[in-house]
Amino acid sequence: MKKNGILNSDISRVLSYMGHTDTLAIVDCGFPIPPAVECIDLSVKFGMPLFLDVLKEVINDFEVEAAILANEIKGNNPVVLSEALSLFNEEEVQFVSHDMFKKLVTSSKAIIRTGEATPYANIILRSGCTFKV
């Protein structure tokens, strides 16, 4: 039995096959999931689990080189935005329109759906490399 790290077997599997520049999305419970992208649905009820709780666990177990958020989070969800930004260096974060975000998600290896029920609590994480060239 695993002692630490992510216990969810689907998330653990996806993280283990991520390569440099591959992307993984973590989204709120209302985000539209594209049919061609694997969805790991963790949602239990509104607010469970929270977006930030899942994000923190994933980045503890995953090398992130960049993060993409929707511009709309700035005016609609400043609390989640502030906490999410505190997890990254400023140069790692990029903002795009929500429409562009939904297009970018279609090339993700997987989407992790949380129970988050606040607006625009969505992020795309681009995989970094754990060794330096």
Beta bridge partners of 95: 69
- 123 contacts: CB under 8 Å, gap ≥ 6: 25, 26, 27, 51, 55, 67, 68, 69, 84
Binned at pLDDT 50, 70 and 90, residue 1 comes out as confident
Q: Which domains does the chain have, with CATH numbers?
A: 9-127 (3.40.1650.10)
Active site members:
20
Take residue 112 and report the two structure tokens written for it.
Answer: 């992790």
CA dihedral over 101, 22, 65, 63, signed as positive or negative:
positive
The percent of residues above 70 in pLDDT, for the chain, comes to: 99
Binned at pLDDT 50, 70 and 90, residue 133 comes out as low
Q: Which H or E element spans position 7? A: none
Please tell me the predicted confidence (pLDDT) of residue 131. Answer: 84
